[in-house]
């Protein structure tokens, strides 16, 4: 038994070392571009005559020839969502044109020669955000024959699919940009992001964030193996949320049919066109096998330990960034994990619009932890090794990218970078400080952009202080009195 333990430990060590090396190779933080530090600044100047919009940020021009973009929620008489609008031809996505003006050596104007011009398919994206007045969009670049077209976007690696996110609920405008980039500093893959301004059919729409969607790409994004022909082997990406409208993507796994998980997993990659019923079933079985071992009495043993199946560091980092920001959809909704052939599961962060005290309800106050209750963490948190590593990692991050000094400087730099783009955004959306106040009680809604930024700073201060003092309480979940029937 003792020797088996030593061998198991050696295997884990070798796997961890080789995995970390590969991981650094692909996703080294040095490759992370923080647009606000490296791109054209607001004071760079321009010699135009000021007769049209002039911005240091990239400019995205969308032309639908006046046709409405599909994807608006359709409600029945009782205000229940019964579907989404489509094109006149009944399609989910509309063919349209996109131009991007993003050259680094000059400011940008609508009449400038575009750096990227393409056909595209576009629809409104999101869940609750589909109801917002300021829409977010899913964009797929296409060639004239309709096939997908991979293009570099504002310096981000070439891909055909992008999310054009319009901060609206987040009146600071910086939550997703900031936390995706901070996550990208210490986790594996986190979606890359670039601020830009959008014009739709000639009308200025305000500030947006061009965002990589979480999917696979050639040497970019999650970067896993494509389906291997004539086998059921493939890298795959799963989403835990409300399920997909494409039936072949939806899977039933152990935690569903044992009623431990009331949400739904669906396959995000491979794409539906590459899925067969057999491949979908094989992915469901592979993930189900992992869940069964995670929820078994020997989940932490040298024969079946969860650490053979998951990248422990990735799960710890995901837990910490979502707890630090009390981003409590994480683990329930918009939750992504992926695995390459022969690899381990890794987590990917997504959506910080409600993070740092921006939920409507007041119940999500900063003095507690929640992620340990989610389906992926419920068992991990019973293991002392996991919890101790998590606490150590927290202390380490608080000396670096999660320190208050680093985060305050980050916020200062991002706000300075946005410059007068903030004012332009609120020239369209400024009314929301009065007309859209979803947070309760009402006093939590910021009166202006400055207050929205201060709210994040205050929250980081309060949350950081509390977690510094209380992170050790997570040890209660792995204490012998609580887990003796599981742990040996
Ligand atoms: Zn100009």
Residues in contact with 257: Cβ distance below 8 Å, sequence separation at least 6, in sequence order: none
* Residue of 314, 316, 290 lying closest to 304 (CA atoms): 290
pLDDT at 335: 96
CA distance 165 to 149: 20
Q: Can you point out the beta strands (E) in 170-323? A: 193-200, 203-212, 216-217, 220-221, 236-241, 250-251, 264-269
**How much distance in Å is there from the Cα of 47 to the middle of ligand 1?**
6
pLDDT at 260: 87
User: For every one of its 488 residues, what pLDDT tens digit does the chain have, with 9 covering 90 and above?
Assistant: 333 444 444 444 444 443 333 333 344 445 799 999 999 999 999 999 999 999 999 999 999 999 999 999 999 999 999 999 999 999 999 999 999 999 999 999 999 999 999 999 999 998 888 999 999 999 999 999 999 999 999 999 999 999 999 999 999 999 999 999 999 999 999 999 999 999 999 999 999 999 999 999 989 999 999 999 999 999 999 999 999 989 999 999 999 988 888 899 999 999 999 999 999 999 999 999 999 999 998 898 888 899 999 999 999 999 999 999 999 899 999 999 999 999 999 999 999 999 999 988 765 577 899 999 999 999 999 999 999 999 999 999 999 999 999 999 999 999 999 999 999 999 999 999 999 999 999 999 999 999 999 999 999 999 999 999 999 999 999 988 887 666 66
Tell which of 189, 204, 220 closes a domain: 220
Asked whether residue 56 falls in the same domain as residue 114, the answer is: yes
The answer to whether residue 191 sits within a structural domain is yes
Residues in contact with 34: Cβ distance below 8 Å, sequence separation at least 6, in sequence order: 181
**How much distance in Å is there from the Cα of 451 to the middle of ligand 1?**
30
The answer to whether residue 81 sits within a structural domain is yes
**How much distance in Å is there from the Cα of 58 to the middle of ligand 1?**
12
**How much distance in Å is there from the Cα of 52 to the middle of ligand 1?**
8
H/E run at residue 326: none
Asked whether residue 176 falls in the same domain as residue 72, the answer is: yes
**How much distance in Å is there from the Cα of 307 to the middle of ligand 1?**
55
**How much distance in Å is there from the Cα of 51 to the middle of ligand 1?**
9
**How much distance in Å is there from the Cα of 414 to the middle of ligand 1?**
21
* Residue of 15, 35, 149, 49 lying closest to 410 (CA atoms): 35
Asked if 32 contacts 185 with a C-beta cutoff of 8 angstroms, the reply is yes
**How much distance in Å is there from the Cα of 171 to the middle of ligand 1?**
27
The answer to whether residue 159 sits within a structural domain is yes
**How much distance in Å is there from the Cα of 172 to the middle of ligand 1?**
26
**How much distance in Å is there from the Cα of 112 to the middle of ligand 1?**
10
**How much distance in Å is there from the Cα of 59 to the middle of ligand 1?**
12
**How much distance in Å is there from the Cα of 424 to the middle of ligand 1?**
15
**How much distance in Å is there from the Cα of 105 to the middle of ligand 1?**
12
* Residue of 356, 487, 427 lying closest to 205 (CA atoms): 427
**How much distance in Å is there from the Cα of 50 to the middle of ligand 1?**
6
The answer to whether residue 26 sits within a structural domain is yes
Q: State which residues form the domain around 152.
A: 33-220
Asked whether residue 131 falls in the same domain as residue 2, the answer is: no
Asked whether residue 184 falls in the same domain as residue 120, the answer is: yes
CA distance 196 to 177: 11
**How much distance in Å is there from the Cα of 45 to the middle of ligand 1?**
8
Asked whether residue 55 falls in the same domain as residue 75, the answer is: yes
Asked whether residue 136 falls in the same domain as residue 10, the answer is: no
| DSSP assignments along 56-77, one per residue | SS-EEEEE-TTPPPS--EEE-T
DSSP SS3 for 409: helix
Tell which of 220, 236, 265 closes a domain: 220
Tell which of 163, 186, 220 closes a domain: 220
**How much distance in Å is there from the Cα of 192 to the middle of ligand 1?**
27
**How much distance in Å is there from the Cα of 198 to the middle of ligand 1?**
16
DSSP SS3 for 249: helix
* Residue of 119, 120, 114, 118 lying closest to 100 (CA atoms): 114
Asked whether residue 160 falls in the same domain as residue 204, the answer is: yes
**How much distance in Å is there from the Cα of 64 to the middle of ligand 1?**
26
DSSP SS3 for 213: coil
- Model confidence, pTM: 0.92
Asked whether residue 115 falls in the same domain as residue 77, the answer is: yes
Asked whether residue 147 falls in the same domain as residue 48, the answer is: yes
Residue 146 main-chain phi, psi, to 5 deg: 90, -5
Asked whether residue 214 falls in the same domain as residue 91, the answer is: yes
**How much distance in Å is there from the Cα of 137 to the middle of ligand 1?**
27
Can you list the alpha helix ranges (DSSP code H) found in 249-383? 254-257, 277-294, 312-324
The count of domains in the chain is 2
pLDDT at 483: 77
The answer to whether residue 121 sits within a structural domain is yes
**How much distance in Å is there from the Cα of 421 to the middle of ligand 1?**
13
């Amino acid at each position: 038994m003792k020797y088996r333990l030593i061998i198991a430990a050696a295997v884990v060590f070798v796997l961890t070392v080789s995995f970390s090396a590969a991981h650094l190779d692909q996703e080294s933080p040095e490759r992370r571009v923080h647009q606000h530090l490296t791109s054209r600044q607001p004071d760079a100047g321009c010699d135009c005559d000021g007769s049209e919009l002039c911005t240091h940020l990239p400019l995205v021009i969308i032309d639908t020839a006046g046709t409405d973009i599909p994807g608006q929620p359709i409600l029945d008489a009782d205000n229940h969502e019964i579907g989404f609008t489509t094109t006149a031809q009944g399609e989910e996505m509309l063919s349209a044109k996109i131009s991007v003006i993003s050259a680094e050596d000059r400011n940008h104007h609508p009449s400038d020669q575009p750096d990227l011009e393409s056909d595209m398919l576009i629809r409104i994206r999101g869940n609750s955000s589909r109801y917002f007045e300021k829409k977010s969009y899913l964009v797929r670049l296409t060639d004239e024959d309709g096939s997908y077209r991979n293009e570099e976007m504002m310096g981000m690696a070439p891909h055909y699919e992008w999310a054009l996110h319009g901060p609206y609920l987040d009146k600071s405008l910086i939550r997703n940009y900031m936390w995706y980039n901070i996550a990208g500093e210490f986790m594996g893959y986190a979606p890359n992001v670039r601020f830009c301004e959008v014009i739709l059919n000639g009308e200025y729409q305000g500030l947006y964030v061009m965002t990589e969607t979480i999917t696979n790409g050639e040497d970019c994004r999650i970067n896993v193996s494509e389906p291997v022909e004539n086998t059921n082997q493939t890298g795959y990406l799963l989403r835990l949320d409300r399920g997909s409208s494409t039936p072949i993507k939806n899977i039933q796994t152990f935690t569903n049919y044992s009623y431990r998980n009331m949400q739904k997993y669906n396959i995000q990659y491979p794409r539906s066109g590459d899925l067969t019923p057999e491949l979908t079933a094989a992915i469901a079985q592979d993930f189900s096998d992992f869940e069964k071992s995670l929820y078994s009495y020997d989940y932490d043993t040298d024969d079946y330990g969860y650490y053979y199946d998951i990248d422990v560091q990735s799960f710890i980092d995901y837990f910490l960034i979502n707890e630090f920001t009390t981003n409590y959809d994480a683990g329930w909704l918009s939750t992504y994990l992926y695995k390459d052939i022969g690899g381990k599961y890794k987590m990917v962060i997504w959506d910080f619009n409600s993070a740092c005290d921006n939920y409507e309800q007041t119940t999500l106050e900063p003095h507690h932890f929640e992620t340990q209750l989610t389906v992926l963490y419920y068992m991990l948190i019973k293991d002392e090794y996991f919890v101790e590593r998590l606490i150590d990692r927290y202390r380490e991050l608080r000396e670096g990218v999660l320190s208050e000094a680093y985060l305050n400087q980050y916020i200062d730099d991002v706000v300075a970078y946005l410059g007068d783009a903030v004012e332009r955004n609120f020239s369209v959306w400024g009314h929301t400080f009065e007309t859209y106040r979803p947070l309760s009680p009402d006093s939590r809604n910021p009166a202006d952009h400055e207050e929205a930024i201060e709210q994040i700073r205050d929250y980081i201060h309060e949350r950081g202080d509390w977690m510094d003092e209380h992170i050790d309480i997570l040890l209660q979940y792995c204490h012998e009195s609580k887990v003796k029937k599981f742990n040996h």
